[in-house]
Structure 1
Amino acid sequence: MYYYTDGDLSNFWLANGYERSETPYGMAIAIRDLPGLSRAICDVLTRKNSNLTDAESRYLRQAMLLLQPTLEAIAAYSDGNEQVTNSIDAMSGVERMAHFVMTETKHGWEAKVSEVDLSEHEDCEEVT
């Protein structure tokens, strides 16, 4: 399992969906479906029951610039969609930590919430 810290995220791990290879510059990680992973992380964050951390808010803001469906989210917010409104309003809330393990399946990336702080486990390696 790899500790995924893109965008300063500190609560995501990849169970699969990546390949590790040695290069002349050290270990390299290649994620097979990076756009799909980014969409899945955004989906997890917008459905999160607790307030977003600062890093999670930044990740969503950066992803909004890259992912086209964001315009639909903005429209839903403007129209008063409760789930979207709650997610966007949570961006300015108190930081709370949930830990997510991302698994690539034949249907795309899926997330599971972990009750355990995986960063303390020996079998997790950091990916930046």
Structure 2
Amino acid sequence: MAEDPEIRRTLERYADAWRAGDFAAMTACYADDFVLHYGGRNALSGDHLGKAEAVRVLVEFTRRTGRRLVAIVDVLAGGAGRGSIIAREAFGDAEVERVLVYRVAEGRLAECWVLDADQPLIDRLVGEA
């Protein structure tokens, strides 16, 4: 399947904002009806509907874990409205690779599934549901 240039542009814009630590530019990439899917078994696991709720959860996740971006490892743009960012984040002394799978629509991030390489660590850091 051929790479979709709209997906590539959208994900690169988001990755650039993330690298720069520009939270306003990051959240500007989200559609108003953005849906965030967090896996695991912790207080933030589940589906978070709408941009405002998703941003609230992302801020809370950062507060609880103290995460820090180490690197954007890769940006992948596919077809059928899907693409991914592979990121490495630091959580204290630990580093975890995270795969974020996005659905892109009309130049915005419409949906995200977060897949963590060390879900038990993330669950411990976030805390119980």
- The TM tier, using the shorter chain, reads 0.3 to 0.5
Q: Which has the higher helix share?
A: 1
Q: Which has the higher strand share?
A: 2
Greater relative CO (CA pairs within 8 A, separation 6+)? 1
**Which of 1 and 2 has greater Rg?**
1
